Amino acid sequence: MTKEKKAVIIYGSPRRTKSASYHLGKSFIKGLQRGGFEVEEIMLANQKIHHCVGCYTCWTKTPGECIHNDDMNALRLKLRNVSITIYATPLYIFSVPGIVKDFLDRQLPEFEPYLIERNGITSHPYRYELEGFQRRMFLICVAGFPEQSHFDAVVQMFKKKTTTAGETYIGDILIGGSELISKDNSQQSFKKLYEYVENAGYEVATIGKISEKTKNLIKEVYEFKPEELEVFRSMANKYWDSTIPRDYDKEDISISEEKIPLKLSDGGMEATFAGMAMVYNPNIIKGLTGVFQFHLDDEIYYLAFDGNKCKAYKGSYPKPLTTIISPKDVWMKISNGELEGRQALMRGLFQVKGDMNLLIRMNEMFESTKT
């Protein structure tokens, strides 16, 4: 394999494989590989990389060699032998996590100390210049906050780093509000995103950049619109509230024992709710007591939690904690994984009343169901 068809991906999240940036990076390289690239994966959190101490020994006493003898020596060699470096990293304080910053700083021995002009700005020459081929860089970055402007500084940093080093910044995928992506049981919900990101990787391999079409698909589905921000903040706050069990008003929500719970053998929508009750995991919101109600067209169902168990019923309950009001077909598509729950909510395809937390944590509460 020639260097032109080789790439290296740098996973920068300290969460390793449990991270959103890792999942997106994996999809991207799947596309690159489909486009004929050989890709090496580097999990930075598994590497031993000391901080640069700024001694410049790599420029003076031992040119090209750092005083630290750690994993960075081998990693620098890898960087030299590829045409594309992909950084898949979370946003930490408008920049990259410390392990990524150390990795960037420790690339200093790759350069000579002399000053040259490159792309209209002062820079250093490469110590190991690659003849006749262009090094390229691609950024995948995820952030907790939803607005794209949170990425401004990190994009600027990587752009500056690459252009001054004579590399080409070939594009980026910047996903805000990404916290859900890192959850194992949400992977199904992000199927479309992974598909687009894989396609982006394929395009980078074959045409050298992401097409406008793919860019727009990602933007359309995963960039928050101004009118969605308040819903996002409210959902996020409910999630945080849920890390401390809520003090539900138990008097108002005691559940009648007279009704007969739904069973799988009831079939149809009844069976769907009976199935959810069966797989309910009481450890997600400990001590949850109350009702989660669903108005699907003219039919009403509810899931009743009594602190430990969950039962499903047909009919309505006077004081539900949360009520979903949705056309039946929309809810079916969400349940089947054909429609992404978050996106459907943002687009007003269904409504939620009351405590948003039950909706946010549905995937976790009913492990084998999908939203």
Ligand X SMILES: Cc1cc2nc3c(=O)[nH]c(=O)nc-3n(C[C@H](O)[C@H](O)[C@H](O)COP(=O)(O)O)c2cc1C
The residues binding ligand X (CB under 6 A) are 13, 15, 19-21, 90-94, 142-145, 150, 178-179, 182
Which of residues 197 and 330 has its CB atom nearest to ligand X in the complex? 197
- Shortest Cβ distance from residue 10 to ligand X (Å)? 12
Which of residues 174 and 321 has its CB atom nearest to ligand X in the complex? 174
- Shortest Cβ distance from residue 208 to ligand X (Å)? 26
Which of residues 152 and 367 has its CB atom nearest to ligand X in the complex? 152
Tokens 């309950």 locate to 317
- Shortest Cβ distance from residue 206 to ligand X (Å)? 27
- Shortest Cβ distance from residue 102 to ligand X (Å)? 15
> How far does the chain reach from its first CA to its final CA, in angstroms?
42
Residue 102 main-chain phi, psi, to 5 deg: -60, -40
Tokens 């992909």 locate to 86
Tokens 């509810």 locate to 302
Distances, alpha carbon 211 to alpha carbons 148, 172, 367, in Å? 19, 12, 36
Which of residues 70 and 184 has its CB atom nearest to ligand X in the complex? 184
**Region for 63 from its dihedrals, namely left if φ exceeds 0, alpha if ψ lies in -120 to 50, beta otherwise:** beta
Rounded-to-integer distance, Cα 276 and Cα 311, Å: 9
**Region for 348 from its dihedrals, namely left if φ exceeds 0, alpha if ψ lies in -120 to 50, beta otherwise:** left
The Cα angle at residue 160 between residues 156 and 165, in degrees rounded to 5: 155
Rounded-to-integer distance, Cα 169 and Cα 154, Å: 13
- Shortest Cβ distance from residue 181 to ligand X (Å)? 7
Which of residues 191 and 213 has its CB atom nearest to ligand X in the complex? 191
Rounded-to-integer distance, Cα 86 and Cα 170, Å: 10
Closest CA to 294 of 366, 222, 238, 246: 366
Pairing of strands 136-142, 84-90: parallel
Which of residues 24 and 352 has its CB atom nearest to ligand X in the complex? 24
- Shortest Cβ distance from residue 189 to ligand X (Å)? 15
Which of residues 225 and 319 has its CB atom nearest to ligand X in the complex? 225
Which of residues 93 and 260 has its CB atom nearest to ligand X in the complex? 93
Closest CA to 270 of 313, 303, 306, 304: 313
Pairing of strands 121-123, 6-11: unpaired
- Shortest Cβ distance from residue 61 to ligand X (Å)? 36
DSSP secondary structure code for residue 295 in this structure: E
Could you tell me the two tokens for 287? 């001590």
Which of residues 13 and 289 has its CB atom nearest to ligand X in the complex? 13
- Shortest Cβ distance from residue 19 to ligand X (Å)? 3
Could you tell me the two tokens for 116? 């040259």
- Shortest Cβ distance from residue 179 to ligand X (Å)? 5
